[in-house]
């Protein structure tokens, strides 16, 4: 069993997992469509209730999304970039690249959101970032700017939930002091 250097918390490796933890690891891999158990799941596995919650959240999240996968990926990438969560940003980058989001768009998501096109996507990303970074600062005009781009109330709520899940992942990764998974770094050539 490996211990995380900063937090001192153990990571339960996939080959060490038995019983309920092994079952949850398998369910988590299916939910994330991953070939390996991510370090985030390994870190929370010392608490079966916490692991169960995480697997349930991610499974439900991916099963119930109605917004385009590219938009979800862009939101899920720009939030950890803005919040300096290396673990989630690197995973978000890989997800974006794996579904064909180009280098120029990735750069804009990371450093120049105001230049993203089309305008509808820009408005959604700007709203998502404000939700993530300053939810108390949201005012009626923020919602109206997104609605002016044809975003329905149902989509608006889904965007807010995507932001909440991204914030959850950032908090887990940063508070647990999780290292980026080797297969993710390898896939990105880092």
Q: What are phi and psi of 130, to 5 degrees?
A: -65, -40
d(CA 146, CA 124): 6
8-17 confidence digits (pLDDT tens): 899 999 999 9
Structural domains in the chain, CATH included, are 2-64 (no CATH), 69-186 (1.20.1290.10)
Q: Output the pTM of the full model.
A: 0.94
CA distances from 148 to 68, 83, 141, 159 (A): 19, 27, 10, 15
Q: Between residues 162 and 3, which one has the greater pLDDT?
A: 162
pLDDT exceeds 80 at position 1 = no
Q: Are 84 and 175 in contact (CB under 8 A)?
A: no
**pLDDT value for 172:** 96
d(CA 160, CA 39): 26
């Amino acid at each position: 069993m490996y211990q995380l250097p900063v937090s001192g918390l153990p990571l339960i490796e996939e080959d060490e997992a038995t019983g309920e933890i092994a079952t949850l690891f398998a369910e988590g891999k299916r939910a994330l469509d991953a070939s390996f158990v991510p370090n985030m799941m390994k870190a929370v596995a010392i608490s079966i209730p916490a692991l169960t919650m995480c697997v349930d959240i991610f499974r439900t999240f991916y099963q119930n999304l109605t917004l385009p996968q590219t938009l979800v990926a862009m939101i899920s990438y720009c939030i950890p970039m803005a919040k300096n969560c290396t673990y989630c940003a690197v995973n978000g980058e890989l997800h974006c690249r794996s579904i064909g989001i180009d280098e120029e768009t990735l750069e804009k998501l990371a450093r120049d959101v105001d230049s993203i096109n089309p305008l509808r996507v820009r408005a959604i990303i700007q709203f998502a970032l404000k939700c993530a970074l300053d939810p108390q600062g949201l005012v009626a005009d923020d919602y109206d700017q997104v609605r002016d781009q044809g975003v329905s109330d149902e989509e608006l709520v889904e965007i807010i939930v995507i932001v909440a899940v991204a914030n959850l992942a950032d908090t887990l990764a940063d508070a647990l002091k999780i290292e980026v998974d080797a297969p993710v770094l390898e896939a990105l050539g880092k």
